[in-house]
């Protein structure tokens, strides 16, 4: 019959009209990333021995480790900064860490408005965002 194809087409589109939407509702729903995605570093202050191996392992010299000697002549961590604007997220710092104090997870929302904000003070952040906390937590970090 003439016009049958038109009706069929209308039928197809109305089915899609009521079908569940396939686009990713990003800010509300976080994407499921592949397991090897590396993005945000987190520091465990208790585990860190301020040896500085991570800083040496870093190909871009992103990491600054500050330490002082205490009364027992042991090194104590006083500051840990990552300049994320030069970081290539290779994860060599994580691999090199002898005490597994630095970890990497999949929180990718690291965008910042200014160049200064790309510096991540991980020493301070470790208090509010210790490793193992869920990736949804976005307080502190690069904006702090």
Partner 1 sequence: MDNIFINIAGWIRDFIAGFGLSEGLVYLAMVLVKFVAVLVFVLLNVVFLVYMERRVAGFFQERLGPNRVGPQGIFQLVMDILKLLSKEDIVPAGADKLVYKTAAYVIFVPTMLVYMVIPFGKGMNVIDLNMGLFYILAVSSLTTLIIFMAGWGSRNKYSLIGGMRAVAQMVSYEIPFVFSFLGVIMLTGSLKLSTIVEAQQDVWFIVLQPIAFIIFLIAGNAEINRGPFDLPEGEQELVAGYHTEYTAGRFAMFYMAEYANLLAMAAIGTTVFLGGWHGPWLPGWLWFFIKMYILVFGQMWVRWTFPRIRIDHMMHFNWKVLLPISLANILVTGIGIKAYEMLRTMGWW
- Residues in contact with partner 1 by CB under 8 A are 6, 9-10, 12-14, 16-17, 19-23, 25
Measured from the CB of residue 16, what is the shortest distance to partner 1 in angstroms?
6
53 by Cβ neighbours in 10 Å (0-12 / 13-18 / 19+) ranks as middle
Give the nearer residue to partner 1 in terms of CB position, either 9 or 59: 9
Report the residue number, 9 or 31, with the smaller CB distance to partner 1.
9
Q: Is the Cβ–Cβ distance between 52 and 65 less than 8 Å?
A: yes
Q: How far is the CB of 23 from partner 1 (least distance, A)?
A: 4
Whichever of 14 and 37 has its CB closer to partner 1, that residue is 14
Q: How does DSSP classify residue 132?
A: T
Task: Name which of 23 and 114 has its Cβ closer to partner 1.
Answer: 23
- Report the Cα 8 to chain-centroid distance in Å: 48
**Angle in degrees, CA 75, 79, 82, rounded to 5:** 125
Q: How far is the CB of 30 from partner 1 (least distance, A)?
A: 17
- How near is the Cβ of 135 to partner 1 at its closest, in Å? 23
CB 105 within 8 A of CB 44: no
């Amino acid at each position: 019959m003439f016009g049958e194809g038109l009706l069929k087409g209308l039928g197809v589109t109305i089915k899609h009209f009521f079908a569940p939407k396939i686009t990713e509702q990003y800010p509300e729903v976080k994407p499921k990333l592949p397991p090897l995605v590396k993005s945000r570093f987190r520091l465990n202050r208790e585990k860190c021995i301020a040896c500085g191996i991570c800083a040496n392992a870093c190909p871009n010299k992103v990491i600054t480790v500050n330490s002082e000697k205490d009364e027992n002549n042991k090194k104590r961590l006083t500051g840990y900064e990552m300049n994320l604007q030069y970081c290539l997220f290779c994860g060599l710092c994580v691999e090199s860490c002898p005490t597994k104090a630095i970890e990497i997870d999949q929180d990718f929302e690291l965008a910042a408005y200014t160049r200064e904000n790309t510096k991540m003070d991980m020493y301070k952040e470790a208090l509010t965002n210790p490793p193992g906390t869920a990736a949804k937590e976005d307080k502190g970090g690069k904006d702090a």
